[in-house]
Amino acid sequence: MRKRQNTINDLKVVHAEKPKHRDLYIIAAEIRKDWKNVYFAAVPYLKALHQLNSINDMFIMEPADMIVRYFLGNATTWRGETARRIKAELKDMIK
């Protein structure tokens, strides 16, 4: 019995899906870098974001989407291009 050799036509192309969103801890690090004087009420939520990977995670007994919502509610004093971009990214995550 003769073994068949694989050809280019026999190979399957597998495309890995690009993650839709960045990890929350990466976003939190960027926020911390840009927002020098974090508003005191946003601090606990920013700290929680540092512990989360995705919007589907839990922080203690709180879902990550609620942490993001609380952060956004307390981040109104954070302004600038980076703030607008990241806030839009976080809002897109919780849709």
Output the six-digit token pair for 50.
Answer: 């540092």
pTM of the model: 0.79
Q: How confident is the model at residue 63 (pLDDT cuts 50, 70, 90)?
A: very high
Hey, where are the domains in the chain? 18-93
Distance CA 47, CA 60 (A): 13
pLDDT recorded at residue 15: 47
User: What percent of the chain has pLDDT above 70?
Assistant: 80
Average pLDDT over residues 6-31: 73
Determine the pLDDT at residue 12.
57
Q: Is 24 exposed, middle or buried (0-12, 13-18, 19+ CB in 10 A)?
A: buried
